[in-house]
Protein backbone atom coordinates (compact mmCIF):
# COMPACT_ATOMS: atom_id res chain seq x y z
CA UNK A 1 0.00 0.00 0.00
CA UNK A 2 2.70 2.50 0.97
CA UNK A 3 4.82 1.77 -2.07
CA UNK A 4 2.48 3.28 -4.66
CA UNK A 5 2.70 7.06 -4.80
CA UNK A 6 -0.58 8.94 -4.49
CA UNK A 7 -0.40 12.31 -6.27
CA UNK A 8 -2.90 15.14 -5.69
CA UNK A 9 -4.24 14.71 -9.20
CA UNK A 10 -3.63 12.57 -12.24
CA UNK A 11 -4.98 11.77 -15.67
CA UNK A 12 -6.83 8.61 -16.64
CA UNK A 13 -5.97 7.21 -20.08
CA UNK A 14 -8.03 4.21 -21.20
CA UNK A 15 -7.50 1.82 -24.10
CA UNK A 16 -10.41 3.60 -25.79
CA UNK A 17 -8.45 6.87 -25.57
CA UNK A 18 -5.37 5.22 -27.03
CA UNK A 19 -7.41 3.80 -29.89
CA UNK A 20 -8.89 7.22 -30.67
CA UNK A 21 -5.42 8.81 -30.78
CA UNK A 22 -4.04 5.96 -32.90
CA UNK A 23 -6.81 6.46 -35.45
CA UNK A 24 -6.05 10.18 -35.57
CA UNK A 25 -2.35 9.50 -36.12
CA UNK A 26 -3.17 7.24 -39.06
CA UNK A 27 -5.46 9.82 -40.68
CA UNK A 28 -4.57 12.50 -43.25
CA UNK A 29 -4.12 15.49 -40.98
CA UNK A 30 -1.99 15.69 -37.87
CA UNK A 31 -2.98 19.28 -37.23
CA UNK A 32 -6.05 21.30 -38.29
CA UNK A 33 -7.92 18.11 -39.10
CA UNK A 34 -11.62 17.31 -38.63
CA UNK A 35 -11.22 16.11 -35.04
CA UNK A 36 -10.61 19.65 -33.85
CA UNK A 37 -13.98 20.86 -35.09
CA UNK A 38 -15.64 17.81 -33.66
CA UNK A 39 -14.05 18.35 -30.24
CA UNK A 40 -15.07 22.03 -30.31
CA UNK A 41 -18.68 21.17 -31.11
CA UNK A 42 -18.85 18.49 -28.45
CA UNK A 43 -17.25 20.72 -25.84
CA UNK A 44 -19.56 23.65 -26.62
CA UNK A 45 -22.48 21.31 -26.19
CA UNK A 46 -21.06 19.97 -22.92
CA UNK A 47 -20.79 23.40 -21.30
CA UNK A 48 -23.79 24.89 -23.09
CA UNK A 49 -22.06 27.64 -25.09
CA UNK A 50 -22.68 28.63 -28.72
CA UNK A 51 -19.03 28.59 -29.79
CA UNK A 52 -15.80 26.91 -28.78
CA UNK A 53 -12.25 27.46 -30.03
CA UNK A 54 -9.65 24.79 -29.22
CA UNK A 55 -6.10 26.05 -28.64
CA UNK A 56 -2.70 24.74 -27.63
CA UNK A 57 -3.12 25.25 -23.86
CA UNK A 58 -5.06 27.21 -21.24
CA UNK A 59 -2.48 29.99 -21.10
CA UNK A 60 -2.77 30.52 -24.87
CA UNK A 61 -6.56 30.65 -24.40
CA UNK A 62 -6.15 33.42 -21.83
CA UNK A 63 -3.71 35.33 -24.01
CA UNK A 64 -6.06 35.18 -27.02
CA UNK A 65 -8.94 36.36 -24.85
CA UNK A 66 -6.99 39.38 -23.69
CA UNK A 67 -6.07 40.13 -27.32
CA UNK A 68 -9.62 39.66 -28.59
CA UNK A 69 -10.93 42.01 -25.91
CA UNK A 70 -8.34 44.57 -26.91
CA UNK A 71 -6.34 44.76 -23.68
CA UNK A 72 -3.56 47.29 -24.20
CA UNK A 73 -0.86 49.16 -22.34
CA UNK A 74 -2.10 50.63 -19.09
CA UNK A 75 -5.51 48.86 -19.08
CA UNK A 76 -6.42 47.78 -15.55
CA UNK A 77 -7.93 44.32 -15.03
CA UNK A 78 -9.05 42.78 -11.73
CA UNK A 79 -8.42 39.16 -10.75
CA UNK A 80 -7.89 36.91 -7.75
CA UNK A 81 -4.51 36.20 -6.15
CA UNK A 82 -5.64 32.62 -5.56
CA UNK A 83 -4.99 31.21 -8.99
CA UNK A 84 -2.39 29.85 -11.33
CA UNK A 85 -0.30 32.80 -12.52
CA UNK A 86 -1.55 32.55 -16.11
CA UNK A 87 -4.93 34.08 -15.12
CA UNK A 88 -3.08 37.29 -14.30
CA UNK A 89 -0.20 37.01 -16.77
CA UNK A 90 -2.48 37.22 -19.82
CA UNK A 91 -3.12 40.86 -18.97
CA UNK A 92 0.63 41.50 -18.73
CA UNK A 93 1.24 39.86 -22.13
CA UNK A 94 -0.78 42.73 -23.59
CA UNK A 95 0.86 45.42 -21.46
CA UNK A 96 -2.11 45.78 -19.12
CA UNK A 97 -1.97 46.20 -15.36
CA UNK A 98 -3.17 43.46 -13.00
CA UNK A 99 -5.06 44.57 -9.91
CA UNK A 100 -5.63 41.79 -7.41
CA UNK A 101 -8.68 41.85 -5.15
CA UNK A 102 -9.04 39.68 -2.04
CA UNK A 103 -10.86 36.37 -1.68
CA UNK A 104 -13.97 35.34 0.22
CA UNK A 105 -12.49 33.12 2.97
CA UNK A 106 -15.54 30.85 2.94
CA UNK A 107 -15.67 30.07 -0.79
CA UNK A 108 -11.99 30.86 -1.62
CA UNK A 109 -13.31 32.69 -4.68
CA UNK A 110 -12.69 36.28 -5.75
CA UNK A 111 -14.75 38.36 -3.33
CA UNK A 112 -17.27 40.48 -5.21
CA UNK A 113 -17.30 43.03 -2.39
CA UNK A 114 -13.57 43.44 -2.63
CA UNK A 115 -13.97 44.01 -6.39
CA UNK A 116 -16.83 46.45 -5.84
CA UNK A 117 -14.81 48.47 -3.41
CA UNK A 118 -11.98 48.81 -5.95
CA UNK A 119 -14.48 49.99 -8.57
CA UNK A 120 -16.23 52.41 -6.25
CA UNK A 121 -12.97 53.99 -5.16
CA UNK A 122 -11.70 54.81 -8.64
CA UNK A 123 -13.02 57.16 -11.33
CA UNK A 124 -15.38 55.38 -13.71
CA UNK A 125 -13.46 53.99 -16.68
CA UNK A 126 -10.39 53.09 -14.60
CA UNK A 127 -10.89 49.35 -15.08
CA UNK A 128 -11.49 47.37 -18.25
CA UNK A 129 -12.39 43.87 -17.08
CA UNK A 130 -12.59 41.18 -14.42
CA UNK A 131 -11.11 37.66 -14.51
CA UNK A 132 -12.84 35.52 -11.87
CA UNK A 133 -11.60 31.96 -11.41
CA UNK A 134 -13.77 28.95 -10.56
CA UNK A 135 -11.16 28.03 -7.99
CA UNK A 136 -10.89 24.33 -7.03
CA UNK A 137 -13.95 23.69 -9.22
CA UNK A 138 -16.40 25.90 -7.37
CA UNK A 139 -18.42 28.02 -9.79
CA UNK A 140 -18.28 31.78 -9.37
CA UNK A 141 -21.70 33.48 -9.12
CA UNK A 142 -21.37 35.13 -12.50
CA UNK A 143 -24.87 36.55 -12.40
CA UNK A 144 -23.74 38.84 -9.60
CA UNK A 145 -20.45 39.63 -11.32
CA UNK A 146 -22.26 40.43 -14.61
CA UNK A 147 -24.48 42.92 -12.84
CA UNK A 148 -21.49 44.65 -11.31
CA UNK A 149 -19.53 44.51 -14.57
CA UNK A 150 -22.42 46.09 -16.49
CA UNK A 151 -22.57 48.95 -14.02
CA UNK A 152 -18.94 49.76 -14.79
CA UNK A 153 -18.90 48.63 -18.45
CA UNK A 154 -16.39 45.85 -17.88
CA UNK A 155 -15.87 42.60 -19.70
CA UNK A 156 -15.55 39.26 -17.89
CA UNK A 157 -13.22 36.37 -18.68
CA UNK A 158 -14.20 33.32 -16.64
CA UNK A 159 -11.17 31.13 -15.90
CA UNK A 160 -12.94 27.76 -15.75
CA UNK A 161 -9.82 25.58 -15.85
CA UNK A 162 -10.90 23.88 -12.62
CA UNK A 163 -14.57 23.54 -13.38
CA UNK A 164 -15.71 21.81 -16.58
CA UNK A 165 -19.16 20.45 -15.71
CA UNK A 166 -19.50 22.71 -12.68
CA UNK A 167 -22.39 25.13 -12.25
CA UNK A 168 -23.99 27.70 -9.97
CA UNK A 169 -27.72 28.18 -9.48
CA UNK A 170 -28.90 31.62 -10.59
CA UNK A 171 -31.58 33.81 -8.98
CA UNK A 172 -34.26 32.07 -11.05
CA UNK A 173 -33.20 28.65 -9.81
CA UNK A 174 -31.58 27.79 -13.15
CA UNK A 175 -28.32 25.82 -13.25
CA UNK A 176 -25.70 27.91 -15.05
CA UNK A 177 -22.79 25.80 -16.19
CA UNK A 178 -19.25 27.14 -16.10
CA UNK A 179 -18.25 28.52 -19.47
CA UNK A 180 -21.80 28.58 -20.91
CA UNK A 181 -21.34 32.17 -22.01
CA UNK A 182 -24.56 33.46 -20.47
CA UNK A 183 -22.77 35.93 -18.20
CA UNK A 184 -19.05 36.02 -19.03
CA UNK A 185 -17.91 37.37 -22.41
CA UNK A 186 -15.39 34.56 -22.70
CA UNK A 187 -14.42 31.50 -20.69
CA UNK A 188 -11.33 29.32 -20.83
CA UNK A 189 -10.46 25.72 -20.00
CA UNK A 190 -7.20 23.76 -19.81
CA UNK A 191 -6.57 20.16 -20.82
CA UNK A 192 -3.32 19.78 -18.90
CA UNK A 193 -3.20 16.22 -17.51
CA UNK A 194 -3.97 17.32 -13.98
CA UNK A 195 -7.26 18.94 -15.05
CA UNK A 196 -10.54 17.06 -15.63
CA UNK A 197 -9.98 16.38 -19.32
CA UNK A 198 -6.46 15.57 -20.56
CA UNK A 199 -5.11 16.31 -24.04
CA UNK A 200 -1.43 16.31 -23.04
CA UNK A 201 -1.46 20.04 -23.59
CA UNK A 202 -4.61 21.78 -24.73
CA UNK A 203 -7.10 24.51 -24.02
CA UNK A 204 -10.53 25.75 -25.03
CA UNK A 205 -12.24 29.10 -25.23
CA UNK A 206 -16.04 29.23 -25.10
CA UNK A 207 -18.29 32.18 -25.87
CA UNK A 208 -21.73 33.17 -27.15
CA UNK A 209 -20.36 36.25 -28.95
CA UNK A 210 -20.00 35.67 -32.68
CA UNK A 211 -17.64 38.55 -33.40
CA UNK A 212 -15.28 37.52 -30.59
CA UNK A 213 -15.47 33.97 -31.92
CA UNK A 214 -14.43 35.03 -35.44
CA UNK A 215 -11.58 37.10 -34.04
CA UNK A 216 -10.33 34.20 -31.89
CA UNK A 217 -10.34 31.85 -34.88
CA UNK A 218 -8.03 34.23 -36.75
CA UNK A 219 -5.82 35.06 -33.74
CA UNK A 220 -5.27 31.36 -33.09
CA UNK A 221 -3.60 30.98 -36.46
CA UNK A 222 -1.41 34.04 -37.15
CA UNK A 223 -4.34 36.41 -37.67
CA UNK A 224 -5.06 34.75 -40.99
CA UNK A 225 -8.50 35.10 -42.53
CA UNK A 226 -9.66 32.83 -45.34
CA UNK A 227 -13.09 34.09 -46.42
CA UNK A 228 -13.94 35.95 -49.66
CA UNK A 229 -16.42 38.17 -47.83
CA UNK A 230 -13.87 39.42 -45.32
CA UNK A 231 -10.93 40.33 -47.57
CA UNK A 232 -9.78 43.92 -47.62
CA UNK A 233 -7.28 43.72 -50.49
CA UNK A 234 -8.83 44.02 -53.95
CA UNK A 235 -9.71 41.00 -56.02
CA UNK A 236 -7.45 42.36 -58.79
CA UNK A 237 -4.47 42.48 -56.43
CA UNK A 238 -5.25 39.01 -55.08
CA UNK A 239 -5.40 37.40 -58.50
CA UNK A 240 -2.69 39.66 -60.04
CA UNK A 241 -4.98 40.15 -62.99
CA UNK A 242 -6.74 43.31 -64.15
CA UNK A 243 -10.21 41.99 -64.88
CA UNK A 244 -11.49 39.27 -62.60
CA UNK A 245 -14.24 39.02 -60.03
CA UNK A 246 -13.09 36.01 -58.08
CA UNK A 247 -10.46 35.58 -55.38
CA UNK A 248 -8.16 32.69 -56.31
CA UNK A 249 -8.29 29.52 -54.21
CA UNK A 250 -4.80 30.09 -52.79
CA UNK A 251 -5.65 33.51 -51.45
CA UNK A 252 -5.70 34.40 -47.75
CA UNK A 253 -5.03 37.51 -45.72
CA UNK A 254 -3.17 38.14 -42.49
CA UNK A 255 -5.36 40.87 -41.07
CA UNK A 256 -4.13 41.12 -37.48
CA UNK A 257 -1.09 40.06 -35.51
CA UNK A 258 -1.91 36.53 -34.35
CA UNK A 259 -0.02 33.52 -33.08
CA UNK A 260 0.29 29.83 -33.70
CA UNK A 261 -1.80 28.59 -30.79
CA UNK A 262 -3.36 25.64 -32.60
CA UNK A 263 -4.06 22.27 -31.03
CA UNK A 264 -3.28 19.11 -33.03
CA UNK A 265 -5.83 16.71 -34.43
CA UNK A 266 -4.61 13.81 -32.29
CA UNK A 267 -4.83 15.88 -29.11
CA UNK A 268 -8.40 16.78 -30.05
CA UNK A 269 -9.10 13.06 -30.57
CA UNK A 270 -7.91 12.42 -27.02
CA UNK A 271 -10.06 15.31 -25.77
CA UNK A 272 -13.20 13.96 -27.45
CA UNK A 273 -12.57 10.51 -26.06
CA UNK A 274 -11.98 11.90 -22.57
CA UNK A 275 -15.09 14.05 -22.78
CA UNK A 276 -17.19 10.87 -23.02
CA UNK A 277 -16.16 10.08 -19.43
CA UNK A 278 -16.36 13.64 -18.08
CA UNK A 279 -19.64 13.18 -16.27
CA UNK A 280 -18.58 9.87 -14.73
CA UNK A 281 -15.35 11.52 -13.57
CA UNK A 282 -17.27 14.42 -12.08
CA UNK A 283 -19.55 12.05 -10.22
CA UNK A 284 -16.55 10.20 -8.77
CA UNK A 285 -14.90 13.49 -7.75
CA UNK A 286 -18.06 14.45 -5.86
CA UNK A 287 -18.09 11.07 -4.14
CA UNK A 288 -14.48 11.54 -3.03
CA UNK A 289 -15.31 15.04 -1.78
CA UNK A 290 -18.22 13.67 0.23
CA UNK A 291 -15.94 11.02 1.77
CA UNK A 292 -13.36 13.62 2.83
CA UNK A 293 -16.07 15.87 4.16
CA UNK A 294 -17.59 13.12 6.29
CA UNK A 295 -14.22 11.95 7.54
CA UNK A 296 -13.15 15.44 8.66
CA UNK A 297 -16.48 16.75 9.88
CA UNK A 298 -15.69 16.39 13.59
CA UNK A 299 -11.90 16.67 13.43
CA UNK A 300 -10.49 19.55 15.45
CA UNK A 301 -7.34 19.74 13.33
CA UNK A 302 -9.35 20.73 10.28
CA UNK A 303 -9.98 24.48 10.35
CA UNK A 304 -11.92 24.58 7.13
CA UNK A 305 -12.67 22.39 4.15
CA UNK A 306 -14.02 22.66 0.65
CA UNK A 307 -17.20 21.01 1.88
CA UNK A 308 -19.98 19.59 -0.21
CA UNK A 309 -21.34 22.26 -2.52
CA UNK A 310 -23.92 21.81 -5.27
CA UNK A 311 -22.32 22.29 -8.70
CA UNK A 312 -18.76 22.07 -7.36
CA UNK A 313 -16.56 20.29 -9.92
CA UNK A 314 -13.88 19.33 -7.35
CA UNK A 315 -10.72 19.79 -9.32
CA UNK A 316 -9.21 20.15 -5.85
CA UNK A 317 -10.22 19.20 -2.35
CA UNK A 318 -8.74 21.85 -0.09
CA UNK A 319 -8.54 21.68 3.68
CA UNK A 320 -7.15 24.26 6.08
CA UNK A 321 -4.97 22.90 8.87
CA UNK A 322 -2.46 23.90 11.54
CA UNK A 323 1.16 22.85 11.03
CA UNK A 324 0.56 22.58 7.32
CA UNK A 325 4.28 22.16 6.59
CA UNK A 326 4.51 19.30 9.09
CA UNK A 327 1.51 17.55 7.58
CA UNK A 328 2.75 18.07 4.01
CA UNK A 329 6.16 16.56 4.79
CA UNK A 330 4.64 13.72 6.81
CA UNK A 331 2.34 12.80 3.91
CA UNK A 332 5.29 12.87 1.52
CA UNK A 333 7.13 10.41 3.76
CA UNK A 334 4.20 8.10 3.13
CA UNK A 335 4.22 8.73 -0.65
CA UNK A 336 1.15 10.96 -0.53
CA UNK A 337 1.89 14.00 -2.64
CA UNK A 338 -0.49 16.72 -1.51
CA UNK A 339 -0.09 20.15 -3.10
CA UNK A 340 -0.55 23.79 -2.19
CA UNK A 341 -2.99 25.91 -4.22
CA UNK A 342 -1.91 28.57 -4.40
CA UNK A 343 1.04 30.62 -3.32
CA UNK A 344 -0.73 34.00 -3.63
CA UNK A 345 0.02 35.26 -7.12
CA UNK A 346 0.62 38.86 -6.06
CA UNK A 347 3.56 37.73 -3.90
CA UNK A 348 5.41 35.99 -6.72
CA UNK A 349 8.69 37.89 -7.18
CA UNK A 350 7.52 39.11 -10.59
CA UNK A 351 4.45 40.79 -9.12
CA UNK A 352 6.33 42.04 -6.03
CA UNK A 353 8.59 43.85 -8.44
CA UNK A 354 5.50 45.57 -9.83
CA UNK A 355 4.69 46.86 -6.35
CA UNK A 356 2.66 44.18 -4.60
CA UNK A 357 3.65 43.33 -1.04
CA UNK A 358 2.71 41.23 1.96
CA UNK A 359 -0.34 42.56 3.72
CA UNK A 360 -1.99 43.78 0.51
CA UNK A 361 -4.50 40.91 0.45
CA UNK A 362 -4.72 39.64 4.03
CA UNK A 363 -7.41 37.00 3.50
CA UNK A 364 -5.65 35.26 0.61
CA UNK A 365 -2.35 35.45 2.49
CA UNK A 366 -3.83 34.01 5.67
CA UNK A 367 -5.47 31.21 3.69
CA UNK A 368 -2.06 30.38 2.18
CA UNK A 369 -0.61 29.65 5.64
CA UNK A 370 -3.11 26.82 6.20
CA UNK A 371 -4.27 25.38 2.86
CA UNK A 372 -3.39 21.97 1.48
CA UNK A 373 -4.96 20.14 -1.48
CA UNK A 374 -5.53 16.43 -0.86
CA UNK A 375 -5.46 13.71 -3.53
CA UNK A 376 -8.51 14.18 -5.77
CA UNK A 377 -8.90 12.39 -9.09
CA UNK A 378 -11.48 9.91 -10.41
CA UNK A 379 -9.25 6.83 -10.29
CA UNK A 380 -8.32 7.37 -6.62
CA UNK A 381 -9.62 4.23 -4.96
CA UNK A 382 -11.63 4.13 -1.72
CA UNK A 383 -8.74 2.27 -0.17
CA UNK A 384 -6.22 4.89 -1.20
CA UNK A 385 -8.47 7.67 0.05
CA UNK A 386 -8.89 5.91 3.39
CA UNK A 387 -5.10 5.59 3.59
CA UNK A 388 -4.80 9.36 3.08
CA UNK A 389 -7.43 10.07 5.71
CA UNK A 390 -5.81 7.66 8.21
CA UNK A 391 -2.38 9.18 7.69
CA UNK A 392 -3.69 12.69 8.30
CA UNK A 393 -5.40 11.44 11.44
CA UNK A 394 -2.24 9.73 12.67
CA UNK A 395 -0.18 12.88 12.07
CA UNK A 396 -2.40 14.91 14.39
CA UNK A 397 -3.02 12.19 16.96
CA UNK A 398 0.47 10.86 17.59
C1 LIG B 1 -4.04 25.12 -15.49
C2 LIG B 1 -4.53 26.50 -15.34
C3 LIG B 1 -4.27 27.50 -16.29
C4 LIG B 1 -3.33 27.31 -17.45
O5 LIG B 1 -3.59 26.25 -18.25
P6 LIG B 1 -2.39 25.56 -19.10
O7 LIG B 1 -3.12 24.64 -20.00
O8 LIG B 1 -1.52 24.84 -18.12
O9 LIG B 1 -1.68 26.64 -19.82
C10 LIG B 1 -4.85 28.74 -16.11
N11 LIG B 1 -5.63 29.00 -15.04
C12 LIG B 1 -5.89 28.08 -14.10
C13 LIG B 1 -6.76 28.43 -12.95
C14 LIG B 1 -5.33 26.81 -14.20
O15 LIG B 1 -5.56 25.90 -13.25
Taking 3-state DSSP, the helix, strand and coil percentages for the chain, each rounded to the nearest 5, stand at 40, 15, 45
Give how far Cα 350 sits from Cα of 61, 85, 92, 204, 359, Å.
21, 10, 11, 27, 17
Cis-peptide into 233, omega within 30 deg: no
pLDDT, tens only, 146-204: 999 999 999 999 999 999 999 999 999 999 999 999 999 999 999 999 999 999 999 99
Q: What pLDDT score does 3 carry?
A: 62
Is the minimum distance from the CB of 63 to ligand 1 under 6 angstroms? no
What is the 64 CA–ligand 1 centroid distance (Å)?
Answer: 14
Is the minimum distance from the CB of 58 to ligand 1 under 6 angstroms? yes
Mapped onto helix, strand or coil, the DSSP state of residue 264 is: strand
What is the 58 CA–ligand 1 centroid distance (Å)?
Answer: 5
pTM over 0.85: yes
- List, in sequence order, the alpha helices (H) in 127-221: 142-151, 210-220
**Which numbered atom of ligand 1 lies nearest the CA of 62?**
10
Q: What pLDDT score does 243 carry?
A: 86
Domain with CATH 3.90.1150.10 in the chain: 279-397
The protein residue with its alpha carbon nearest to ligand 1, atom 4, reads 58
Q: Count H helices, E strands: the chain?
A: 14, 16
| Distance separating alpha carbons of residues 345 and 176, to the nearest angstrom | 28
Q: What pLDDT score does 199 carry?
A: 97
Q: What pLDDT score does 190 carry?
A: 98
**Which numbered atom of ligand 1 lies nearest the CA of 194?**
1
Domain with CATH 3.40.640.10 in the chain: 6-224+256-277
What is the 196 CA–ligand 1 centroid distance (Å)?
Answer: 12
The CA radius of gyration of the chain, in Å to the nearest whole number, is 23
CATH of 6-224+256-277, one of 3.40.50.1980, 3.30.479.30, 3.40.220.10, 3.40.640.10: 3.40.640.10
Is the minimum distance from the CB of 162 to ligand 1 under 6 angstroms? yes
Is the minimum distance from the CB of 345 to ligand 1 under 6 angstroms? no
pLDDT, tens only, 325-378: 999 999 999 999 999 999 999 999 999 999 999 999 999 999 999 999 999 999
What is the 301 CA–ligand 1 centroid distance (Å)?
Answer: 31
Is the minimum distance from the CB of 84 to ligand 1 under 6 angstroms? yes
Assign domain 279-397 to its CATH architecture. Answer: Alpha-Beta Complex (3.90)
**Which numbered atom of ligand 1 lies nearest the CA of 315?**
15
Q: What pLDDT score does 333 carry?
A: 97
Mean pLDDT by runs of 10 across the 398 residues of the chain is 82 97 95 95 98 98 98 97 98 98 98 98 96 98 98 98 98 98 98 97 98 97 95 96 92 97 98 98 98 97 94 98 98 98 98 98 98 98 98 94
Distance, C-alpha 167 to centroid of its chain: 14
Amino acid sequence: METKAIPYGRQDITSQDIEAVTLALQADYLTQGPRINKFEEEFAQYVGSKYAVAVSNGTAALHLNALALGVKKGDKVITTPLTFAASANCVRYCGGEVVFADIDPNTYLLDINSVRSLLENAPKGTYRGIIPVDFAGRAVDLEAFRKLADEYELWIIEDSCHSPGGFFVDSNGVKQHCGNGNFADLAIFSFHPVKHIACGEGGMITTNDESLYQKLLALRTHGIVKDDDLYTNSVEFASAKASTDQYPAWYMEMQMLGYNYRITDFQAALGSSQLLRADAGLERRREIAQNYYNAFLDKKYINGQSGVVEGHAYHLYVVEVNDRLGLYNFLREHSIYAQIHYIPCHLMPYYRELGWKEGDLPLAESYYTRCISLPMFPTLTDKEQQFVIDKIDSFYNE
